[in-house]
Amino acid sequence: MFESLSSEIRLDIFRLLIKHADSGLVAGEIAEALELPNTNLSFHLKALVHADMIDVTQEGRFLRYKAKVDQMQFLINFLTAECCNGQPEQCFKKS
């Protein structure tokens, strides 16, 4: 997951898909929103699918991509599990 999100383009794709978590977006909508060529987009979408960060479903001749919100929540929980000596609520306190 970390490797897949380490690319700025893939992170932008994932952020966009999170904003459309309920309906997802087809590849053309993602390409247009992020101003990416389809070949470049395809490479990054495959990496996110392989990392299990997004789902893809066939809709006729289109592919619809959706962020896996549960995976994102897992990653957040993993990152904050040991935050501030096992007290994750401390991570969000303002100094």
Higher-confidence residue of 82 and 71: namely 71
Q: How far does CA 40 lie from the centroid of its chain? A: 16
The model's pLDDT over 8-56, given as tens digits with 9 standing for 90+, comes to: 999 999 999 999 999 999 999 999 999 999 889 999 999 999 999 999 9
pLDDT at 95 over 60: no
- Whole-model pTM over 0.75: yes
Q: What is the pLDDT of residue 77?
A: 83
Q: Mean pLDDT, to the nearest integer, of 48-71?
A: 94
